[in-house]
Amino acid sequence: MIMPGEKVLIAYGTRYGSTEEISQEMGKTLEKEGLEVQLVDLKKTKSKEWPSLEPFDGVLVGSSIAVGKWMNEPQEFLKKHKAEIRKKEKILGMFVSCGSAMVNPSTRKPLYPKKYEKAKIDYLEKVMAKIGIEANIYDVFGGVYDFSESSRMGGFAKKMMKMGIKQLSEDLGIEIDENGKTDLRDWDQIQSFAKKFASLVKK
């Protein structure tokens, strides 16, 4: 008899695409671990069409951070499923993509170790406490400086990001392409997070 594999939902909110790419990479890792994966972009999908948690053994919820805040949709998703999550029958993973967790593209070490630790508290532990839930696993990941033509960032966001980067490049000795894409995520960190999540789901 063929046993159906565990099913996992990855529900995310992205503004400029970093969180979406992280979600897609986690999806690939989870599939390699033998799990069935469904991804949902919570902003693009109408809330009444958001999937129910019923068929899933685990759920990963991720958000982009701007001005210290989660996007509304992933927060609403967690609030909507709060009662089910609190029963602790499903494994919950939470993550964000934010500047505070960006890594040096050469060494893959956090650019700001103290900010990384604070981001975990501010962007995850405080959000969990506010909603009244506890994730089984959570982490913060970096993002991308994308100033290319294809960037999803509007003029205002590009301006905000560019303001900080000159200083950042000088202080930390990293090169940021002012007309292209500089990826400051640690893909090993992202894949190992997904693997740990998979092992919790398979237990």
Ligand X SMILES: Cc1cc2nc3c(=O)[nH]c(=O)nc-3n(C[C@H](O)[C@H](O)[C@H](O)COP(=O)(O)O)c2cc1C
Is 5 or 17 the residue whose CB approaches ligand X more closely?
Answer: 17
Is 17 or 105 the residue whose CB approaches ligand X more closely?
Answer: 17
Is 94 or 201 the residue whose CB approaches ligand X more closely?
Answer: 94
Query: 55 to 74, contacts with ligand X by CB under 6 A?
Result: 64-68
Using CB under 6 A as the binding rule, whether residue 42 contacts ligand X is answered as no
| Options 10-18, 33-41, 81-89, 167-175: segment touching ligand X (CB under 6 A) | 10-18
- 3-class DSSP string for the chain: CCCCCCEEEEEEECCCCHHHHHHHHHHHHHHHCCCEEEEEECCCCCHHHCCCCCCCCEEEEEEECECCECCHHHHHHHHHCHHHHHCCCCEEEEEEECHHHCECCCCCCECCHHHHHHHHHHHHHHHHHHHCCCCCEEEEECCEEECCCCCCCCHHHHHHHHHHHHHHHHHHCCCCCCCCEEECCCHHHHHHHHHHHHHHHHC
Mention every residue, 6+ apart, whose C-beta is less than 8 A from residue 60.
8, 9, 10, 11, 12, 23, 26, 92, 93, 94, 95, 197
Q: How far is the CB of 155 from ligand X (least distance, A)?
A: 11
Sole binder of ligand X in the list 6, 19, 35, 138 (CB under 6 A): 19
Q: How far is the CB of 22 from ligand X (least distance, A)?
A: 8
Using CB under 6 A as the binding rule, whether residue 15 contacts ligand X is answered as yes
| Options 103-111, 156-164, 172-180, 186-194: segment touching ligand X (CB under 6 A) | 156-164
Q: How far is the CB of 4 from ligand X (least distance, A)?
A: 32
Using CB under 6 A as the binding rule, whether residue 157 contacts ligand X is answered as yes
Query: 162 to 201, contacts with ligand X by CB under 6 A?
Result: none
Burial of residue 151 (number of CB atoms within 10 Å: 0-12, 13-18, 19+): middle
Q: How far is the CB of 21 from ligand X (least distance, A)?
A: 8
Pattern 94-133, ligand X, x by CB under 6 A: ---xxxx------------------x--------------
Q: Which amino acid is at 179?
A: N
The contact set with ligand X (CB under 6 A) reads 14-19, 64-68, 97-100, 119, 143, 157, 160-161
